[in-house]
Amino acid sequence: MSGRTADASRSITDQVTEVSLRRVGLYAVLVGLLAFYLSPIEAGLVTSLKTTAAFNETAPYVPPGLDGLTLAKWAEAFSLLQAGLVNSLILTIPATILSATLGSLAAYGLTKVDWKGQVGVYVLFIAGIFIPYQAVLVPLSEFWGQMFPLYEIGAPVWAAVPFLQEYHGHLLALIVTHTAYGVPICTLLFRSYYKDISDEIVEAARLDGASVASIYRKVILPLSVPMFAVTLIYQFTQVWNDLLFALIIIPSGSGSAAPVTLALVQLGSGVVTDFTIKMAGALVTALPTIIVYVLFGEQFAEGVAA
Amino acid sequence: MRSLLRGVKRLFTDDGGDATAGLDQADDGPTDTTVTDVGEPVPDGGVEAAAGPATAGDGEDSMLSRLRRSDFLGSLPFWLPPFLLMGFFVYGAIGWNLLISLTDMSGFTDPDYSNLDLQNYAQAFSDPGFINAAQNTFVLLVAFTLVCLVVGLLLAILVDQGIRFENTFRTIYLLPMSLSFVVTAQFWLWMYNFDNGMVNTLLRSVGVANPPQWIGDPQFVLTAVIIALVWQFSGYAMVVYLAALRAIPSAQFEAARVDGASTVRMYWRVIVPQLKSATISAMVVLMVFALKAFDFLYSLAGGYQPPSGSDILATKMVREAFNRGEWAYGSAIAIMLFLMALAVVAPYLTMQYRQGEL
């Protein structure tokens, strides 16, 4: 901000001291806030690296000394969560791609096409973002449990295809569910982007005789690449981080289908809570989203801001 | 589907004569064929007839409007399949949930749809657990949203001072939002641990002899939860405010300086009033996040029963249905939760629509 310019009546040195004092104060506050935002993660990280002895002896935020340092908790957490990590990947990747694709298609059909009713349909899409999922849970479990039990219906498929097990039916149900509830936000993200694409390009293509479908393929889709990045990143973290749908759709007996979030809830909780293993597990679970966030922070912020 | 379209169309009937007239005919004519013939424009007489009165002009015009009419059909394959999938799972499920809430489905019995009444809703209002959960939900919603907005605005103003390493600061403030509720619950469980957690260790080191139990104390647990959620989501408010601040012309900052406004007064008088629409949209989204706090509380407790003093409608609904098998009662709570969300979101969407933001 350029508010620091000129107040000619005062001497230059006065101004410089005042400005630099303010700057020092500003940075002190910013760094103090950093401490607030990083401390839970820092405490988790140092704790996950401690041996049980070091855990008992040191303060929660102090890193372990060389003799108290161990990767054993990470290894243990990883091996306990391994199956969950695989399940999470199996369900997150297709659900992310499907909802982003459907969102792009829907947004195009409701933006660049000249049809008056589109805003009304769009409102119905958007309202879907804001519903509390509690309002659909009982029907969801009825649908996937009683009416359309994919794990049973798909039995011949699970038997015939190598690597597929019955519990993959639960994962498939989760993929469909996440896709359906991801469509509204993806549509919103793409539509706000498509609205800014110039109408003239589309109109020109139309006068050249291009059909609605070929305008999408040849004009809109190539322009959508940056938005696909934003949507895929946002949706990946959403689906990866979910607990509620997994809890409701996967029957409590079927632990083999549990995604990593569901497995993490119980990790390290016994008669005495083992925080070293809990923290290691939390970081293992968070690692994919943290990596995505660090690599694509800008896109994530953009997705969030929309 | 058709009646839905009609309803939607009616919303726009006062938008101007000829466009609506054109839509009317397009709707009556070719829509019926869409079921069988999706894709390319329908080359039958219906389109020609519909195109006629709307244009009444030269050849080029009528060709343009014919292309436009065909756009509706051409657009169907794009938005209809996602719409049906979403509509089934969102609106179909809410309708079904409403029906279940009117039955007395519990345990392993199937719902009996022939005998519907409002008994579950009556039960809720005489259930002290429900009243308590509703109060906690309200407190959480209001306190969390307000604190998040204030912290987010503060962060945005600080980050907006032309600082070095701006990206790093922003990235770290927003980082918690990329984490799962399940993960953040584990971190905060450790932070709030009575004996060894960081919060109490720090409190003891500054001379607080008897720090609170936090999670274990019904008096403090809601505050503890709100602090943790603010930690996770204030970065979101920052991002929204930052975008809004950057949209304000810098001349206004300078003008306020020249007038001699002090920094705080300048922000309060000149800048903050311009952040109204950013505040409203951040507020709505934050409230929706707060309604989803179920994952956090479930992970904190490691089960359906959240720590005493922190039961909210979202946790109570899931517990009644999926833990105790009171499906119909749980559904009724869900409907009330849905109505609460609707009360927040409907005015917001209406406002957005009026301003042409949609």
Instruction: Give backbone dihedrals phi and psi of A57, rounded to 5 degrees, phi first.
Output: -95, -30
Residue type, B44: D
How high is the pLDDT of residue A273? 84
How high is the pLDDT of residue A253? 63
Question: A254 pLDDT band (50/70/90 cuts)?
Answer: low
The residue in chain B having the minimum alpha-carbon distance to the alpha carbon of residue A29 is: B158
How high is the pLDDT of residue B6? 38
Q: Residues 283-312, chain B: which have Cβ within 8 Å of A?
A: 284, 288, 291-292, 294-295, 298-299, 302
| Partner residues linked to A69 by β-bridges | A50
How high is the pLDDT of residue B13? 35
Q: Which positions in chain A touch B201 (Cβ < 8 Å)?
A: 59-61
DSSP track, B149-165:
HHHHHHHHHHHTTT-TT
pTM: 0.84
Q: Which positions in chain B touch A44 (Cβ < 8 Å)?
A: 186-187, 190
Do the Cβ atoms of B284 and B173 come closer than 8 Å? no
Do the Cβ atoms of A133 and B24 come closer than 8 Å? no
**Using CA atoms, how far apart are residues B4 and B60, in angstroms rounded to an integer?**
33
The residue in chain B having the minimum alpha-carbon distance to the alpha carbon of residue A103 is: B82
The helix/strand count (H/E) of chain B reads as 18, 0
How high is the pLDDT of residue B290? 87
**Using CA atoms, how far apart are residues A61 and A51, in angstroms rounded to an integer?**
14
Instruction: Give Cα separations from B188 to A40, A52, A84, A213, B147 (angstroms).
Output: 7, 20, 22, 50, 18
Mean pLDDT confidence for A21-36: 92
How high is the pLDDT of residue B97? 97
Sequence-separated (6 or more) residues with CB below 8 Å from residue B236: A304, B148, B152, B174, B177, B282, B285, B286, B289
Burial bucket for residue A13 (CB in 10 Å: 0-12, 13-18, 19+): exposed
Q: What is the CA radius of gyration of chain B?
A: 27
Sequence-separated (6 or more) residues with CB below 8 Å from residue B129: B311, B316
How high is the pLDDT of residue A224? 93
The terminus-to-terminus CA distance of chain A in angstroms comes to 25
Do the Cβ atoms of A246 and A258 come closer than 8 Å? yes
Interface residue A103 vs chain B (CB under 8 A): yes
A50 by DSSP, 3-state: which? Answer: strand
How crowded is residue A163: how many other Cβ atoms within 10 Å of its Cβ?
6
Q: Given an 8 Å threshold on Cβ–Cβ distance, is A138 in contact with B330?
A: yes
Do the Cβ atoms of A68 and A57 come closer than 8 Å? yes
Q: Given an 8 Å threshold on Cβ–Cβ distance, is B345 in contact with A211?
A: no
Residue-wise pLDDT for A153-177, tens only, equals 888 888 888 888 888 899 999 999 9
How high is the pLDDT of residue B20? 36
pLDDT over 80 (residue A215): yes
Percent of chain A with pLDDT over 70: 95
How high is the pLDDT of residue B115? 86
Instruction: Give Cα separations from B203 to B145, B195, B321 (angstroms).
Output: 26, 11, 40
Question: A152 pLDDT band (50/70/90 cuts)?
Answer: confident
Q: Which residue has the higher pLDDT, A117 or B124?
A: B124
Q: Which positions in chain B touch A103 (Cβ < 8 Å)?
A: 82
DSSP track, B278-340:
HHHHHHHHHHHHHHTTHHHHHHHHTSSSPPTT---HHHHHHIIIIIT--HHHHHHHHHHHHHH
Q: Given an 8 Å threshold on Cβ–Cβ distance, is A121 in contact with B83?
A: yes
Q: Which positions in chain A touch B3 (Cβ < 8 Å)?
A: none
What is the rounded average pLDDT for all residues in chain A?
Answer: 89
Interface residue B327 vs chain A (CB under 8 A): yes
Q: Given an 8 Å threshold on Cβ–Cβ distance, is A265 in contact with B327?
A: no
How high is the pLDDT of residue A134? 95
Token readout for A111 is 């933006």
How high is the pLDDT of residue A174? 95
Q: Given an 8 Å threshold on Cβ–Cβ distance, is A286 in contact with B183?
A: yes
Q: Given an 8 Å threshold on Cβ–Cβ distance, is A123 in contact with B15?
A: no
* Shortest alpha-carbon distance between residue B219 and chain A (Å): 22
- Average pLDDT per 10 consecutive residues for chain B, totaling 358 residues: 36 36 39 39 40 43 60 84 96 97 89 90 96 95 96 94 90 93 95 93 91 92 96 94 91 80 83 90 88 92 93 96 95 95 90 82
Mean pLDDT confidence for A106-112: 89
Residue type, B76: L
A69 by DSSP, 3-state: which? Answer: strand
How high is the pLDDT of residue B153? 95
Quote the crossing angle between the two packed helices B59-87 and B45-55, to the nearest 10°.
Answer: 120
Q: Residues 70-89, chain A: which have Cβ within 8 Å of B?
A: none
ipTM, two decimals, is: 0.90
Closest to A114 (Cβ–Cβ): which among B71, B175, B330?
B71
Residue-wise pLDDT for A219-246, tens only, equals 999 999 999 999 999 999 999 999 999 9
Q: Which positions in chain A touch B235 (Cβ < 8 Å)?
A: 37
